[in-house]
Amino acid sequence: MPRANQHLWRQLVGRSLYAANLEWWYAVHDAADILLICSEDLGDAGRAAAEMARVAGHLGLDAFDFGPVVGKGKYNAGAQHRGYGAVTPWADAAARSARKPMDPAARRAVANFTAPFNARLFDLAGHACAEWGRTPGGEGRG
């Protein structure tokens, strides 16, 4: 790899190979103590309440209906740092985070490259991120 691309490779590719970065944690800690949270689920109005409930359950917190709270919108959305009580309506959050779609051929190349690493991550975690697509070697255990 050309030296000029090393930083790009480490930042964009190396950090996206989550299993390689987390295998040490799974080797040292009980897998039941580690929870994979898919940020896409927290950022989706239809899935955010269920994901919050899953996190709360993992932490041993009392059951709580996150639906009414999450129904108001995203909290502290878009790295605006307006405070944890600041609510951005879902439609506004979607408009702010809208970006040009990735070229389909480039998207397929990235997905094909990361698929085996994602499959390993989902096997380690016992949970799959739905928006990451199907993975070779399994469909995850979402």
**Tens digits of per-residue pLDDT, 99-135?**
788 888 988 888 888 889 889 999 999 988 877 764 3
Model pTM score: 0.73
Q: What DSSP character marks residue 4?
A: G
Q: How far, in Å, CA of 62 to CA of 84, rounded?
A: 21
Element (H, E) at 116: helix 104-125
Tokens of 139: 């469909």
What is the average pLDDT across 35-44? 88
Place of tokens 């790295």: 79
Place of tokens 């016992």: 126
| Amino acid found at 31 | A
Place of tokens 């040009």: 100
For the chain, the domains span 8-34+102-135, 38-99
| Amino acid found at 16 | S
Q: What DSSP character marks residue 9?
A: I
